[in-house]
Amino acid sequence: MNAFQYKSGQLHCEDVSVARLAEEFGTPLYVYSRQHIVGQWQALDKAMKPLEHLVCYAVKANSNLSVLRALAEAGAGFDIVSGGELERVIRAGGDPTKCVFAGVGKTAMEIERALRCGIGCFNVESLPELLRIASIADAMGRRAPVALRVNPGVDPDTHHYISTGKHESKFGIALQDALAVYRAAAEMPGIEIRGVQTHIGSQITKTAPYVLAIRKMLPLIQQVRALAPQTLEFFDIGGGLGIRYRNERPPAAAAFAAAVKPLLRNLGLRIVLEPGRFIVGNGGVLLTRVQYVKQTPVKRFVIVDAAMNDLIRPSLYESYHEIVPVRKLSARRMFQADVVGPVCESGDFLAQDRRMAAVGEGELLAVMSAGAYGMAMSSNYNSRGRAAEVLVDGRRYALARRREGVGELMQAEIS
């Protein structure tokens, strides 16, 4: 579904005019569509049937409690990477037994807390981490459920910052080392081998890298089954499903499932998925107001009130986000401009050399496809309070996070 559409010349999120939200809550403002977010989760969930499966939403993409609650109510599991994300899931009514806990640097405190909460599984990224989990579980008189995150050495053909399954990545355990680590795990009283996991990267717009990665993992799965026939339950094929930012043609949920299911059908294991961007990416926009239009001898700058601290993807990954005026005029002039924020960095831009609708001071713009890795990666750089967030559901909407005030920025500091 496309949750963001013009109605009577005004951009709407579902049935709510986003200009109205900007009036009420100010800018910069993140606006999310509940129907889009839950709909994406449901589409993937439905597409994976009749295989036994669990779609674990990757919390890192957008960790707002209202978003998590909507997904928990739909029945989602969660993929978490920190103790903080675990607490968010619990606060939002999510079930820790439906959580997989990834990340290369889990601390002893995080491991202990996750064990006490009954975490579904640790996705273990190294032998030292496995040893630490085993010893903590031992001391607690428990057995920790684990899967190893295995690097199949597949190039997902995406930005190198978000490619994770290649051999030189910091993530996971190399495929050729994995069996030895599983053998060690099988000898540890504090460990129960529950699964095998892989994740090859993010914003993957083709099915072929998944098919290749799964194929490369299948022999290992049989070897692990022989090691832990009683306890092996799942194969987690990670996240990374891409979305359309500009002109990409990523597979829909059904096409993705159709490509991978034939390889997974006869495994007799539950299939776990960890999508983040696919669920929330196109379910959110960042609303921002034009402050000035500045003309230099060589360039035009549209200076807006959102900045790299609100949405860092263009600066960090050179990502493209469509930027549209909230009020659509049929006969708008076009011009070329950089859309930039007030932060004191040349890298603070939302678009560069963009051919766009000619907008003027005071106008509202929507930065599209900003639901994933937008607010979640925001910061207080330049002592800027973080944006507010609103969740829309049909005609209804509710503030999901209030705007951060300057007082809050200084709250934890001592002078």
Ligand X SMILES: Cc1ncc(COP(=O)(O)O)c(C=O)c1O
Binding site for ligand X (CB under 6 A): 58, 61, 79, 102, 164, 199, 202, 238-241, 274-278, 372
Q: What's the closest the beta carbon of residue 241 comes to ligand X, in angstroms?
A: 6
Nearer to ligand X, 172 or 325 (CB): 172
Nearest CB to ligand X, comparing residues 18 and 133: 133
Least spacing, CB of residue 168 vs ligand X, in Å: 16
Shortest Å, Cβ 250 to ligand X = 11
Between 3 and 204, CB nearer to ligand X: 204
121 carries an active-site annotation: no
Nearer to ligand X, 190 or 275 (CB): 275
Burial of 39 (0-12, 13-18, 19+ CB in 10 A): middle
- Which residue among 13, 56, 117, 344 is the active-site one? 344
* Smallest distance, ligand X to C-beta of residue 229, A: 26
Least gap, CB of 81 to ligand X (angstroms): 7
- In the bound state with ligand X, the residue whose beta carbon lies nearer, of 102 and 365, is 102
The residue sitting closest to ligand X, measured at its beta carbon, is: 276
The 3-class secondary structure across the chain, one letter per residue, is: CCCEEEECCEEEECCEEHHHHHHHHCCCEEEEEHHHHHHHHHHHHHHCCCCCEEEEEEHHHCCCHHHHHHHHHHCCEEEECCHHHHHHHHHCCCCHHHEEECCCCCCHHHHHHHHHHCCCEEEECCHHHHHHHHHHHHHCCCCEEEEEEEECCCCCCCCHHHECCCCCCCCCEEHHHHHHHHHHHHCCCCEEEEEEECCCECCECCCHHHHHHHHHHHHHHHHHHHHCCCCCCEEECCCCECCCCCCCCCCCHHHHHHHHHHHHCCCCCEEEECCCHHHHHHHEEEEEEEEEEEECCCCEEEEECCCCCCCCHHHHHCCCCCEEECECCCCCCEEEEEEECCCCCCCCEEEEEEEEECCCCCCEEEECCCCCCCHHHCCCHHHCCCCEEEEEECCEEEEEECCCCHHHHHCCCCC
Which of 40, 288 has the CB closer to ligand X?
A: 40
- Least distance from C-beta 242 to ligand X, angstroms? 8
- Three-point CA angle 160, 161, 165, nearest 5°: 70
Q: What's the closest the beta carbon of residue 41 comes to ligand X, in angstroms?
A: 12
Residue 28 or 77: which CB sits closer to ligand X?
77
Report the catalytic residues.
Answer: 344
